[in-house]
Structure 1
Amino acid sequence: MAVLAWLLIPLFAAVGAAIWAGWASRDRTSGDVAELAGYARFRDAMERAGSGSDAVRN
């Protein structure tokens, strides 16, 4: 039974490595368009907020 355990350890490690490799190499570009559009809206809002006459001046 101990031999079986020693044979299963590398098998589980190989399966875990394959799962991790698949997860690490996934395509993550699908959400970039929405994130960039949100950042552009944020930048526009910050520019509008900073251009008001009630801005704090030293």
Structure 2
Amino acid sequence: MLIPLVAAIGAGVWGSWATRHRGAGDGPELAGYERFREAMERSHGTDAA
């Protein structure tokens, strides 16, 4: 009876870890992507003429 109890506790811990809220969100990643796009547009904008 000890093995199912340990498995249930482990599943609960894993479930709470898997559904945790990450505080950072997508803000920094999207800002970095926007800076990348702007830099690529600037580098390609001068060569297109």
Answer yes or no: same fold by TM over 0.5: yes
Q: What is the number of equivalent residue pairs in this alignment? A: 48
TM-score by length of 1: 0.66
Greater C-alpha radius of gyration: 1
**Aligned partner of residue 20 in structure 2, secondary structure:** coil
Percent of aligned pairs with the same residue? Answer: 58
TM-score by length of 2: 0.74
Structure 2 unmatched ranges of 5 or more: none
Structure 1 residue ranges, 4+ long, deviating more than 3 angstroms after superposition: none
Partner of 2:27: 33
From the two aligned structures, give the one with the greater helix fraction.
Answer: 2
Structure 1 unmatched ranges of 5 or more: 1-6
